[in-house]
Structure 1
Amino acid sequence: MAKEKVIEFLNEAAQNQDLKNKLQTVKNPDELTTLAQKEGFEFSSKNVDEALDELKQKPGFFGKLAEAIAEAFSPDHDNAPPAIGVQPYSGDSSK
């Protein structure tokens, strides 16, 4: 029953931008359970592992995972400088 709570929490995070932002700072299952408890979800880090194992068995899981990773780490979501292109050299030429 607790692994279903993990999935409910992850679904909530997918729909709630504030929670999604908090979730991006999580580094391990223990931090995930602490965040979830603050949001009213009760489960253990063992339940996180069980839920992830179950999700991996669902068809299309890895495709959705790849999409989520690409979305999370795309340039629109980090502090990368804007693309400005190649700038012409304006210094002195070598002699």
Structure 2
Amino acid sequence: MSKENVLHFLSEAAKDERIKSQLKFASSHEELAGVGSQAGYEFSPEHVEEALTELKQKPGFFSALAEAVLLLFSPPHDDYPATGVQPFSGDVPSKH
């Protein structure tokens, strides 16, 4: 049951900015379990490992992970034309 608590916690954490900000500093299964406990979810570091192992085995996990990484670390979406930024074509201000 606790593995399910981990999965439910991670699902809720994705929607909650406060929990997301706390998870940014979690660098171990123990710290993740601590953040979960503060949010009212009971699970151990071992349950975190079980849940992550299960997620890794799901079909499409790594392609979804790769897409998320590319989205996070790619340049922001913008409205520049495919040729890039256009050269300046206005008047240069005169120096006084």
The verdict on a shared fold, with TM-score over 0.5 as the criterion, is: yes
Paired positions, count:
76
Residue identity over aligned pairs, in percent, reads 49
Matches within 5 A, 1:66-81: 66-72=66-72
Q: Distance in 2 between matches of 1:37 and 1:73?
A: 30
> Which structure: larger Rg?
2
Superposed CA offset, 1:11-46 (max 9, x none): 011111221111111010000001100000000000
Aligned residue identity for 1:29: H
Equivalent in the alignment of 1:51: 51
Does the C-alpha gap of structure 1 residues 9 and 71 become closer, same or farther in structure 2, counting only changes over 3 Å? farther
Aligned residue identity for 2:27: K
Equivalent in the alignment of 1:31: 31
Equivalent in the alignment of 2:85: none
Does the C-alpha gap of structure 1 residues 28 and 73 become closer, same or farther in structure 2, counting only changes over 3 Å? farther
- The CA RMSD over aligned residues, in Å, is 1.8
Q: TM-score, normalised by structure 2?
A: 0.69
Q: Distance in 1 between matches of 2:42 and 2:12?
A: 14
Equivalent in the alignment of 2:64: 64
Q: TM-score, normalised by structure 1?
A: 0.70
